[in-house]
Structure 1
Amino acid sequence: MTELHLWLRHEDRSTERRTPIVPLDARRLVESGVRLTVEDSPQRIFPIEEYEAVGCGVEPAGSWMSRAPRDAVVVGLKELPDRPASLTHRHIFFGHAYKEQPGAVDLLRRFAAGGGALLDLEYLVDDQGRRLAAFGYWAGYLGAALAVLQHRGRLAAPLTPTSKEELDEILRPAAGDEEFTALVIGALGRSGRGARVALDTAGIGATAWDLAETRALDRPALLAHDVLVNCVLATSPIPPFVREEDLDDPDRRLRTLSDVTCDVGSPLNVLPVYDRTTEWTDPVRRLRKEPPLDLIAIDNLPSLLPRESSTDFSASLLPQLLDFETGGPWGRCLDRFHQACRELGIEEGEFRRD
């Protein structure tokens, strides 16, 4: 069996503090015979010295483009830089390229041009289609926490990474806080569970909706809540939860909308009332002035708790990396990549099939 060479890249996005492989699990990989190269990164929550100490090779940030052997598997989380135009490696990251998102066609054509492949972490699933590694819990936790802080007038910008202990300290109810109602949609999934725990910490007993409640959506009941936290990632078309006309409903009580999913630009978006995400520097956008409605839609929420979220994610990903092969979950990822390319009219011969 050929030695597996994983190349952990620096994240190009300046606000990305997370990593898919933490030093503790890097040690496990190295001890199992995996060659692991880690790029230096000034923003990663774990310093490069911790990786070096467990036997990882070290390379400069961004060096995968010129120094990684072609058979190396490049591992990351968020989007790749715009260059190179041709991607020759297999890449593991969240590509957001299979649901007609902006930039999806260009990304997949870069893989086709170079002979590489995308092994999208969103599609790393078991035989029942359940995701094997996800940040959902912490995304939901933070999405709900920020919504509470905004609604209580305690959300300060710019956002900065913190710890769960520090976040919970300001999340707990204080004297003078007014009561309000909150609704979590997708309440039974990972993100929904995290959102409900954050709301419990904040002293808010949330209304929990999942499939049963959204099959026949009670829109007036939805709009009657003060805060909405959306944790639904639709995989097939469903009626939107909030429409443009709902924003102008005179009976709307909804004041704070936190979209954990951030499926903006996709035809499957269940909240098609905004066209761009919000950022750490400006986390809240006002969608309506009267009555007011504020939007929080940050697409890397778990990076605000980088140590906790990275540790959990890495622990879930580790068994899949230790059993990395062309079949099983990784084979399904590769099949999904080929399918997406065919749907875009990219000829099979344009990329490797191994």
Structure 2
Amino acid sequence: MTHLWVRAEQRPNEERVGLTPQGAKALLAAGIKVTVEESSVRAIPLQGYVDAGCDIAAENTWPDAPTDAIIFGLKELPEDGSPLPHRHIMFGHAFKGQHSGKALLERFKAGGGTLYDLEYLVDETGRRVAAFGYWAGYAGAAVTLKTWAAQQRSELCGPVGVYESKDALLTDLGAELDALNVDRPTAMVIGALGRVGTGAADLCEAMGVKVTKWDMAETASGGPFPQILAHDLFLNCIFARPGTPVFVPREALEQDRQLSAIGDVACDPDSDYNPVPVYDRATTWDAPALRVADSPLLDVMAIDNLPSMLPVESSQDYAEQLLESLMTLTDLTSGVWGRAEATFNEYRPD
């Protein structure tokens, strides 16, 4: 019997989950065994999974799960170097040249396990079957606006946290912007036709921010792109890959520009293809903005688990998208799972 083991997230500020109780009930009805770990932080209560008929395991006991179990989580595993013998479904961040990803692949090599990277679950056309993109863009735009607002107060953006709902976020951010008594900033979104860019633009427009929306057609020339520097905010919503142009080069740090806040929602600072190479590390919930230039001022927001700010809505949305693929876990050799394994094998160390 196919056995899906939903692990507790171990990363700080991570309350999301990729399977709802309703989805678990559907998997059980399809003959897939579902084990859900207890979690002290998960946004969706455990009781729903109990009521659905799932087996319940203690928090963070997935290393001792049966070897044939498929371990399902969202964010990265603890970086303890231990071999990984199981099959894992998660965001591994291992296939785009990331340095931490190379270590993860070595752990799979040592243990003989397999990574089905959620970022590379694609249909026959190459389109991702599920993504948190909309909520990443939405929350990323919000924190970038908070970064800009802090600049107006001659401050660096302070800590951010979880919101119980989208409406709570909008109320909080609107009050912060209104208190400034200045005109709203202008923003450019690149990747505006995708889910990430749509979320970013929606948040900006909800806050009364004028948005310039660019996508592949506007960036096909390869740059440079002085138009970006003529906006107050730049929101990068482009999936980094070979051939992605550089949107804000390092020389822009010292150039005369209007741009003062970058929201790198894609957040791949250690990727070889980073289109915003003006910073070298992700930012955090405790310190959301990294100052990369003082004159003219420029801060970068690059939190890499942005949808976690809205864990209930983002979990429900993502789980609904992913469920159709989870229902096919009984055949890992074809479809989305076969393609994901082929991608893993392409990058797996010899």
- TM-score over 0.5 for the alignment? yes
The residue that corresponds to 1:281 in the other structure is: 286
* Distance verdict in 2 for CA 1:316–1:260, change over 3 Å: same
Instruction: Assess if the C-alpha contact under 8 Å between 2:16 and 2:314 holds in 1.
Output: yes
Instruction: Assess if the C-alpha contact under 8 Å between 1:231 and 1:261 holds in 2.
Output: yes
The residue that corresponds to 1:126 in the other structure is: 123
Residues 1-354 of structure 1 correspond to what in structure 2 (within 5 A)?
Answer: 3-66=1-64, 68-83=65-80, 85-153=82-150, 157-162=158-163, 163-172=165-174, 174=178, 176-216=181-221, 217=223, 219-249=225-255, 251-324=256-329, 325=331, 326-341=333-348, 344=349, 346=350
Q: Distance in 2 between matches of 1:184 and 1:73?
A: 37
Deviation at 1:109, TM superposition (A): 1.6
Deviation at 1:156, TM superposition (A): 6.3
Letter in 2 for 1:76: G
The residue that corresponds to 1:352 in the other structure is: none
What SS class does the counterpart of residue 184 from structure 1 fall into? strand
* Distance verdict in 2 for CA 1:89–1:41, change over 3 Å: same
Instruction: Assess if the C-alpha contact under 8 Å between 1:278 and 1:285 holds in 2.
Output: yes
Instruction: Assess if the C-alpha contact under 8 Å between 2:157 and 2:289 holds in 1.
Output: no
Q: Distance in 2 between matches of 1:19 and 1:177?
A: 39
Task: List structure 1 segments (4+ residues) > 4 angstroms apart after TM superposition.
Answer: none
What do residues 209-243 of structure 1 show as CA deviations (whole Å, max 9, x unaligned)?
A: 11111112352211011000000012223331111
Letter in 1 for 2:96: K
Which stretch of structure 1 is more off in the superposition, 87-96 or 163-172? Answer: 163-172
Count of equivalent residues: 339
* Length-normalised TM-score, structure 2: 0.93
What do residues 175-198 of structure 1 show as CA deviations (whole Å, max 9, x unaligned)?
A: 724132110011111100101100
Which stretch of structure 1 is more off in the superposition, 209-218 or 52-61? Answer: 209-218
Letter in 2 for 1:243: P
The residue that corresponds to 1:349 in the other structure is: none
Which stretch of structure 1 is more off in the superposition, 14-23 or 119-128? Answer: 14-23
Deviation at 1:83, TM superposition (A): 3.9
Q: Distance in 2 between matches of 1:52 and 1:158?
A: 35
Q: Distance in 2 between matches of 1:64 and 1:207?
A: 45
Q: Distance in 2 between matches of 1:20 and 1:61?
A: 16
Q: Distance in 2 between matches of 1:170 and 1:202?
A: 11
Q: Distance in 2 between matches of 1:263 and 1:248?
A: 23
Q: Distance in 1 between matches of 2:257 and 2:271?
A: 26
Q: Distance in 2 between matches of 1:84 and 1:145?
A: 35
After superposition, the CA RMSD in angstroms is 1.5
Task: Report percent identity of matched pairs.
Answer: 46
Instruction: Assess if the C-alpha contact under 8 Å between 1:183 and 1:222 holds in 2.
Output: yes
What SS class does the counterpart of residue 99 from structure 2 fall into? coil
What SS class does the counterpart of residue 284 from structure 2 fall into? coil
Deviation at 1:174, TM superposition (A): 2.8
Letter in 1 for 2:116: L
Which stretch of structure 1 is more off in the superposition, 44-53 or 5-14? Answer: 44-53
Gaps of 5+ in 2: none
Q: Distance in 2 between matches of 1:227 and 1:150?
A: 10
Q: Distance in 2 between matches of 1:127 and 1:282?
A: 40
